[in-house]
Structure 1
Amino acid sequence: MNLLPSTQTLALPRELPQRQRLADELHARPFETLASPGRVLSVATLRTDAAQDALCLAHLAELAALDPAAGAIGGPTHQRLQWRGLRIKWERHTEFFSLSVFCEAAQGGAFDTAWLGVLPEGWLARLPGEMVSATLVALLPCAGEPPHVREVAPLFGSEPVVGNRVADGAATVVTDLRSVGGLTRYLVFDHALNRRRAGRTVQRLVEIDTYRMMALLSLPLASRRMGELGAEEAQLASLMERFRGAAEGDEALLGELVALAARVEHALADHGARFSATRAYAGIVERRMAELREAVVPGLQPLSEFLHRRFRPAVESCTATAARQAELSKRIARAAQLLQTRSEVERERQNQSLLASLDRRQGLQLRLQEMVEGLSVIAMTYYGVGLAAYALKPLAKALGASEAWVLGAAVPCVALAVVLNLRRLRRGLASAH
């Protein structure tokens, strides 16, 4: 079998413009290797706008400029450099920046930070953005069983500690998951980790702490919104009670309902993304915990159990707030639909009343028209007989007949002619329309 690298090239079809970037995405954030004894400090700061990206890169460039041997490599989303025995990795995420500093063969106590003294004074404090998490991991060699919890607990103070075996028993993790001096501290006893596995284990612990804090960013918002949602639901219930009682016009109810809907939709637009991010970050924490592959250590509460008991309820509270907010929006939409339906029914009833009134008016108008037509027949007959008398009187005298009888006989004839003429005019107008 030939195991030498190939020097041949193959002619392939034209590439998709983004193909190389997509193919390299799996390798965009590789794990750093680490050997015990080792220390890692990871700081995450919130990213509020794109302008901070340039500030972070300038901050790293400032450090690289102080030491030409720093050897900064990377791009706009990640940077790696060497600094006087330290390895520094910077990454840009969607909502935060992460800066990790790695040191091997660090001296001093497990959680001493003297090894960071080689950094320029105040350089860490000037990182752009507000700090959301700071994690300190100490990796110590431990050939046999880890020290008893009574020996480890004093490193964290008087608070109880949690931990377990990870990486299929190759290491033991102990922590109190508290922020002391701004730092959340993890102690990792290395039983049988190689450099790559140690780096992956430490990175997972850092990500658990960082994403845990990012997920909990919406907890204060959820607590505040719970109170507001109670008031909004009570207002909706009051509106529906007034709607059922029909004690006032729909216009007033609709105005209040629209104002309530506007408030709820504004809250949905403002907080929906935050609550969605909480669900996503909580999912990452769950996956990182699963990737640790825990095994219980006697005398220690498992880390996953502690997170499920404390962290999971907080996430579920945020999820419940988001669901309650969305459900309230749907209830308001249904209430508005009911109000609109009742308004449409009321309009239909008013339209029916208006049509009935128009029918009555048309009936009256028809009877008035018939009365006018009757009067018109009489008047036109009177004037027609008057006009005909000028011709009938000489004719009656010539025939020796009575003028009164001749005029009397002409009245029905004239009236009939007038009636027939009016009917013909009415039919002509009807056909025209």
Structure 2
Amino acid sequence: MKLPTEVEERQQLADEIHARPFEPLSTPGAALAIATLREGPADDALCVAHLARLGGEASAAGAATQCQVRCGALRVRWERHTEFHTFTVFTDLGELAMEQAFDTGWLDALPHDWLASLPGRMISATQLAVLPCPGDPPHARLVAPLFGSDPLVGNRVADGAATVVSDLRAKAGVTRFLVFDHAMNRRRAGRTVQRLIELDTYRMMALLSLPVATRRMGQLAAEEAQLASLMARFHDATDGDEVLLHELVTLAAQVEHAMAENGARFAATRAYSGIVNQRLIDLRETLVPGLQPLSEFMARRFRPAMDSCAATAARQTQLSERIARAAQLLQTRSEVERERQNQALLSSLDRRQGLQLRLQETVEGLSVIAMTYYGVGLSNYLLKPLAKAMGWHETAVTLVAVPAIALLVLLNMRRLRRHLHQSPDS
């Protein structure tokens, strides 16, 4: 069957729904999952090479985002995520007493330093044991010695097919879960174990933002106080706009730098928190008498931590918006002041232009007088001899010449002014 040309990466997109499948697990069984932070793409090759140290037959999937190796009776799987890697070791055990649930002798099949030399810095380590339990699970007081702490949390999961018990404490760096299998098959047991691993891993990844939020809260209080001081000085007009604008720009740069630095961290926390909540829903909890449910325990501290991170992210976004509004107000006031100065300058120019016009008219009047004077003087050289020849008095000739020459000069000046006003370059 011939098909049209495929969209690029179509097969990868189609296979995405099958990525990271659950690992089937028999009962009794055990698993250990370790998550390390991913520093960069170069870590991927290191992880694959580290997995290859185990030998055995490897199978890869998802464009090198997942790889699995068999090491004797162990199944070791590596997965690459956006910010971290996970190495998970699964094993099926023939027999496992409750008192030996968290023994790690089955890990002796791994090379001596293999776990300690995993690439990256560890963010979480989760150990799980799955025990058969056809009837009701043991009472919490019988299970507590395995964890060495009290109280325990847990509930029925998978529609009552299993019971999960944990103290959610990282002892020697490891968080432990005990799963009592009432009626699960291998695939359902694998799904339950994987959900618990992801619950613990994404919980720790989400909490990475909490120290950042704690530090940022103190910084935000100082920045908000600085903005309030700037706005008070803006209201009182105690400082010039240039000084206020410089301080406001410095504050804005500081806030934007912090947002660029930790914005991605807070966004990742929102995503991880959503995954944690979804995994709690996927477990499909039902209450067990004497045990506090996992979701209820998580709601007591985990959700307030997530709310603090979300509040910090929202608070710094609001501060950035307030700084932008303050800068706009300052700019508006500067523009109004500039317009006022421009109006004053135009009024001054109008007054100067009026004075120049009057001065020009005065100069023109003086020019008419001066030109008339020189014109009469020159005309006397011509008219006096002529008047003498005709028997006219010389003074009479001068009296007649003065208004005539003055009129000619005045008409010529007006013609010249009219010509200048009509000129395109005037």
The reply to whether TM is greater than 0.5 is yes
Given the alignment of the two structures, is residue 34 of structure 1 paired with residue 25 of structure 2, yes or no? yes
Given the alignment of the two structures, is residue 45 of structure 1 paired with residue 45 of structure 2, yes or no? no
Is contact 2:151–2:167 with CA below 8 Å preserved after alignment? Answer: yes
Name the counterpart of 2:58: 72
Identity of aligned residues (%): 68
Q: How far, CA to CA, are the matches of 1:191 and 1:351 in structure 2?
A: 86
What's the offset of the Cα at 1:199?
Answer: 0.3
Name the counterpart of 1:95: 83
Q: How far, CA to CA, are the matches of 1:116 and 1:425 in structure 2?
A: 111
Is contact 2:54–2:69 with CA below 8 Å preserved after alignment? Answer: no
What secondary structure does 2:53 align onto?
helix
What's the offset of the Cα at 1:424?
Answer: 1.1
What secondary structure does 1:393 align onto?
helix
Q: How far, CA to CA, are the matches of 1:331 and 1:150 in structure 2?
A: 55
Please tell me the residue identity of whatever aligns with 1:24.
D
Is contact 2:31–2:88 with CA below 8 Å preserved after alignment? Answer: yes
TM-score, with length taken from structure 2: 0.97
Is contact 2:96–2:131 with CA below 8 Å preserved after alignment? Answer: no
Given the alignment of the two structures, is residue 313 of structure 1 paired with residue 304 of structure 2, yes or no? yes
Q: How far, CA to CA, are the matches of 1:386 and 1:331 in structure 2?
A: 81
What's the offset of the Cα at 1:117?
Answer: 1.0
Note the residue ranges of structure 1 that are not aligned, 5 or more in a row. Answer: 1-9, 65-69
Deviations 1:372-402 (A, max 9, x none): 1111011000000111111221232233222
Please tell me the residue identity of whatever aligns with 1:426.
R
Is contact 1:215–1:279 with CA below 8 Å preserved after alignment? Answer: yes
Q: How far, CA to CA, are the matches of 1:136 and 1:325 in structure 2?
A: 38
Is contact 2:125–2:173 with CA below 8 Å preserved after alignment? Answer: yes
Name the counterpart of 2:125: 134
Q: How far, CA to CA, are the matches of 1:243 and 1:17 in structure 2?
A: 57
Is contact 2:35–2:201 with CA below 8 Å preserved after alignment? Answer: yes
Given the alignment of the two structures, is residue 213 of structure 1 paired with residue 218 of structure 2, yes or no? no
- Out of 227, 233, 237, the residue aligned to residue 246 of structure 1 is 237
Is contact 1:48–1:129 with CA below 8 Å preserved after alignment? Answer: yes
Name the counterpart of 1:196: 187
- Out of 185, 190, 214, the residue aligned to residue 176 of structure 2 is 185
Q: How far, CA to CA, are the matches of 2:204 and 2:149 in structure 1?
A: 23
**1:342-361 map, 5 Å:** 342-361=333-352
Q: How far, CA to CA, are the matches of 2:239 and 2:351 in structure 1?
A: 30
Deviations 1:342-373 (A, max 9, x none): 11111111111111111111111111111111
What secondary structure does 1:63 align onto?
coil
Q: How far, CA to CA, are the matches of 2:348 and 2:321 in structure 1?
A: 40
- Out of 7, 15, 19, the residue aligned to residue 10 of structure 2 is 19
Please tell me the residue identity of whatever aligns with 1:390.
Y
Q: How far, CA to CA, are the matches of 2:371 and 2:54 in structure 1?
A: 115
What's the offset of the Cα at 1:264?
Answer: 0.4
Name the counterpart of 2:260: 269
What's the offset of the Cα at 1:14?
Answer: 2.1
Is contact 1:107–1:115 with CA below 8 Å preserved after alignment? Answer: no
Q: How far, CA to CA, are the matches of 2:2 and 2:183 in structure 1?
A: 46
Deviations 1:323-348 (A, max 9, x none): 00100000000000001111111111
What's the offset of the Cα at 1:17?
Answer: 2.6
- Out of 154, 157, 165, the residue aligned to residue 163 of structure 1 is 154
Q: How far, CA to CA, are the matches of 1:397 and 1:12 in structure 2?
A: 124
Please tell me the residue identity of whatever aligns with 2:331.
Q
Is contact 1:166–1:293 with CA below 8 Å preserved after alignment? Answer: yes
Name the counterpart of 1:175: 166
Name the count of aligned residue pairs: 419
What secondary structure does 2:114 align onto?
coil
Please tell me the residue identity of whatever aligns with 1:175.
S
What's the offset of the Cα at 1:81?
Answer: 1.2
Please tell me the residue identity of whatever aligns with 2:57.
G
Name the counterpart of 1:114: 105
Name the counterpart of 1:416: 407
Q: How far, CA to CA, are the matches of 1:234 and 1:223 in structure 2?
A: 18
Q: How far, CA to CA, are the matches of 2:379 and 2:167 in structure 1?
A: 125
Name the counterpart of 1:426: 417
Name the counterpart of 1:5: none
Q: How far, CA to CA, are the matches of 1:247 and 1:363 in structure 2?
A: 38
Please tell me the residue identity of whatever aligns with 1:376.
S
Superposed CA RMSD in Å reads: 1.0
What secondary structure does 2:102 align onto?
coil
TM-score, with length taken from structure 1: 0.95
What's the offset of the Cα at 1:35?
Answer: 1.1
Given the alignment of the two structures, is residue 278 of structure 1 paired with residue 264 of structure 2, yes or no? no
What's the offset of the Cα at 1:107?
Answer: 4.4
Please tell me the residue identity of whatever aligns with 2:197.
V
Q: How far, CA to CA, are the matches of 1:62 and 1:412 in structure 2?
A: 122
Q: How far, CA to CA, are the matches of 1:144 and 1:317 in structure 2?
A: 42
- Out of 375, 379, 404, the residue aligned to residue 384 of structure 1 is 375
What's the offset of the Cα at 1:182?
Answer: 0.5
Is contact 1:233–1:328 with CA below 8 Å preserved after alignment? Answer: yes
Q: How far, CA to CA, are the matches of 1:402 and 1:12 in structure 2?
A: 124
Deviations 1:77-122 (A, max 9, x none): 1111111100111100000000100011164611111110111001
Deviations 1:231-254 (A, max 9, x none): 000000000000111112111000
Deviations 1:272-300 (A, max 9, x none): 00000000000000111101100011111
Is contact 2:149–2:167 with CA below 8 Å preserved after alignment? Answer: no
Given the alignment of the two structures, is residue 299 of structure 1 paired with residue 290 of structure 2, yes or no? yes
What's the offset of the Cα at 1:423?
Answer: 1.1
